[in-house]
Structure 1
Amino acid sequence: MQPVKPVKKRLVTCPQCQSVSEYSVENRFRPFCSERCKLIDLGLWADEGYRIPQPIEPDDFLEE
């Protein structure tokens, strides 16, 4: 029987506040550190805070 290797914790930076949090099943807000940061990000999406800086032109699409 082989010994079980300990699992390393995967730490990530919260996209909202830049604090370090664990990326695991136990962190239900992942990749965010908290519900607050998750809701702030959701609000930015809802208010169209994330936008493409210029209009998309027909030439921007690849033709197959």
Structure 2
Amino acid sequence: MTTVNCPSCAKPVEWSETSEFRPFCSKKCQLIDLGDWATEAHSIPAAPSGNMADHIDEEAIAEQFEQQQKSFFNND
């Protein structure tokens, strides 16, 4: 039988099809890990792909914002 340590709490977990949450020991540990990814406590390092400011169309964003405001206030 192969065992691994739960990535969240380090408890030994049997690595088999009967281990519902493998490599985690429980749903709780699985959700803790998911939360860490969601809050960027975990991340995969990568080289920057360039200056993000070069890809931002500020005029288009401003136009969309204005349209959303008009739509919001006209739906009273």
Answer yes or no: same fold by TM over 0.5: yes
Higher normalized helix content (fraction of residues) = 2
Compute the TM-score of the two structures, normalised by the length of structure 1.
0.65
Task: Point out the structure with max Rg over C-alpha.
Answer: 2
Tell me what 1:24 maps to: 16
Would you say how many aligned residue pairs link Structure 1 and Structure 2?
49
Q: Which has the higher contact order (CA 8 A, sep 6+)?
A: 1
Work out whether 1:43 is the aligned partner of 2:35: yes
Structure 2 unaligned segments of length 5 or more: list them: 50-76
Compute the TM-score of the two structures, normalised by the length of structure 2.
0.55
How far off is 1:50 after superposition? 1.3
